[in-house]
Each structure stands twice: as C-alpha cells, then as structure tokens.
Amino acid sequence: PDANLGEAALVEGLRLYPVDHLLTASAHLAGAEPLGPATPPLPATTIDVQADLADVYGQPLARRAIEVAAAGRHNLLMMGPPGSGKSMLAARLPGILPPLSDDEALQSAAIRSVAGLPLDLDQWRQRPYRSPHHTSSGVALVGGGASPQPGEISLAHNGVLFLDELPEFDRRALEVLREPLESGRIHIARAGRRAEFPADFQLVAAMNPCQCGFANDPARACAQCSPDRTARYQQRVSGPLRDRIDIQIEVPALPRNELVGGQRGGCEDSATVRDRVARAWHRQVARQGVANARLDHGGMSRHCKLSPGGERLLATAIDRLGLSARAFHRVLRVARTVADLDASDGITEQHVTEAVGLRRLDRA
C-alpha cells in the first residue's frame, strides 16, 4: 500500500511498487499497466537531540546516575520533591543513548505499525521514549484488549519507559512489570486470546518521598505527612518491583546558589556524555554480547571480577544495608558498568563504592 511505503523502505534490498488500489496492483501484475519502482526518501541516520543535559543545573549525583544507567541499560528510580528535576533528567536519557541498530529500528517500527501509530522517518534511529500518565489503565500500560495490542511497555522496546509519580500508578499494573523486566517480553491472555509482545525496555521511574512531596526538604515543611503515612506512600511500590531497579537515588531540591550559578553554564552536554556511554557499550558488546544489566549469573561469574578490596567492601555493604540476593547482583552489575566507563577490565573498590552509593534508597 502506498501509505506504507516509508515503512517498507526501511528494509534493504527491496524493489517497491506502491499502489493505492487493488485494481492498480492487478493491472501491474497482469502487465496491462506496469508500474515503475518507487524511490522513497531515505530515513535519517543521525540523532537529533533536543533535550540536552547541558540544560540541567547542578544535581551531580543524578547526572552521574543517568550516565551510568545509560551506559549499562540499568533501570533507575529517582526520589525527590516536586521541581527537583527528576522529569527533566529522565527526558535527557534517550539523548545520551547510542542510536538504534538496523535490527532494533525495524523491531520498533514493526511494533508501532501493529499499534497503528505513524512512523517518523526523521526519528527512526532515536530510541523510543514513552511516558504514560499515572492514570493510564493496565491495558494501556502493558497491552491487551479484545484484539490484543501492544501497550506502552512494548512501544518502549529498545528504549526508555518513564513512569512519573510511580506510586500513583495502579499497583496491579506495576506488578505486571516484573515479568518483562526479567524476560524482556510480555505475555497477554484476554478473553480466550493469547499474545506475546517484545518489551525489553529500560525503566526510569520518579516519585515524591511522601504524599505532599516535601518530606525531608529543609526549605519547605511537610506538615501533613506523618512517618507512618510517608512509609505507606512509599510502600505502594512493592519490594519485589524495587528489587528489580538497579539504581535508586535521591534527587534533592536544587539550592538557590546552584540554580543561579547554573545559568552561567559549565555543565557537560549530551554529546560529550553520549561519547563515553558509546565507548562503555562497545566494551560490553565486545566482551559479552549484551548490556551489563542483562548479564545472567553465568555472565556475572565470568565478567564481574572483583578486586580483593572490592570484594570486602561489597560483603560489608550486604551486611550493613541488608541487601537481598537480587539487589546484590544488581549492585554488582552496576559496578561492572562503572568500571567500563573507567575503561577498566577489573572491578575495584572505587567502582564498588560508587555502585553502592547509587542504591541509596535500598535499605533494610
């Protein structure tokens, strides 16, 4: 069909004959009215970064967390008051990720086509970034319907799924995320129909520390949220789901002097950070074929070699922080990514220190 010419052009080696009616196709095949092959416009091969990290003032820990998350495809949770920059940081993650490969771009294009969404040829190499509202239904988030359609988690395949106000999402829908976060796929069973869609996304989530958002904020009092109420609010995100989030940090409100001083510039831009991320990706693919966040237990045994100091430090962190076995393995994967950003074959005590520091919300 003529309307699908752009999508068909993404597959190399095809001669394309767009038609707008079956009679036109029939006449061409019968030789009555031969058509000439079309020359569709070439899709873009570069990334157009509109949300740049240079626009983010201060927040050195959060900026580093975004870089490490990008470098290893790690899931990320940011907790902080409104206006601290959580959403702004999340929106800049796709701009520091390497572009989609040919196969990945075709996968993402196919998912959009199945969902009935248009394809932007100018952005087809850009990794998907989906940010559904917290009022989205479970079907909209994970997929389904009378005739099963891919949901937001599949539209974010090979890219980023940003869930702002994480505790406000339907808890049942959030629990369904545990399957694709482990397997990269989602199985849907609705009204006797079954479907399976790819859902290998990178989860980035943001949440307030309490219902009003200002718990532990030195500049604004949190008068209505008692410790028990704050704990209940945070527990809306289950422990098993949080266990699957590699990097967990606090994003404090930006001090006034940093906000004003940031106007003078001096922050790295996305292109600079993306170069470091690309080098770390290359090291991972050359060494093990997958991103560090996707390493299985065998891969960790082979590729996550700790120095004696790093081993002692990680053992101490397990005891003091009460890390679960799953959390331990995620810290180890993050340490591997920090080492890759440092172009180091081994994981040192310094790398472990940073990895543990990037899991600040995970306490017994």
- The kind and range of the H/E element at 274 are helix 270-288
Could you give the maximum distance between any two Cα atoms of the chain, in Å? 80
The pLDDT of residue 259 is 53
Do 135 and 196 lie in one domain? The reply is yes
Do 166 and 64 lie in one domain? The reply is yes
Do 118 and 26 lie in one domain? The reply is no
Average pLDDT score over residue span 7-29: 77
Q: Give the chain's domain count.
A: 3
Do 74 and 28 lie in one domain? The reply is no
pLDDT at 124 > cutoff 70: yes
Where is average pLDDT lowest: 7-16, 221-230, 278-287? 7-16
pLDDT tens for each residue of 63-94: 999 999 999 999 999 999 988 899 999 999 99
Q: Show the domain range for 138.
A: 53-262
Would you put residue 212 in left (φ > 0), alpha (ψ -120 to 50) or beta? alpha
Cβ distance 335 to 311 under 8 Å?
Answer: no
DSSP assignment of 164-219, as one string? SSGGGS-HHHHHHTHHHHHHSEEEEEETTEEEEEE---EEEEEE-SSSSS-TT-TT
pLDDT at 340 > cutoff 80: yes
Q: Is the dihedral of CA 71, 76, 79, 82 positive or negative?
A: positive
pLDDT tens for each residue of 180-209: 999 999 998 877 778 899 999 999 999 999
pLDDT at 7 > cutoff 80: no
Cβ distance 218 to 207 under 8 Å?
Answer: no
Do 22 and 60 lie in one domain? The reply is no
In a domain, 218, yes or no: yes
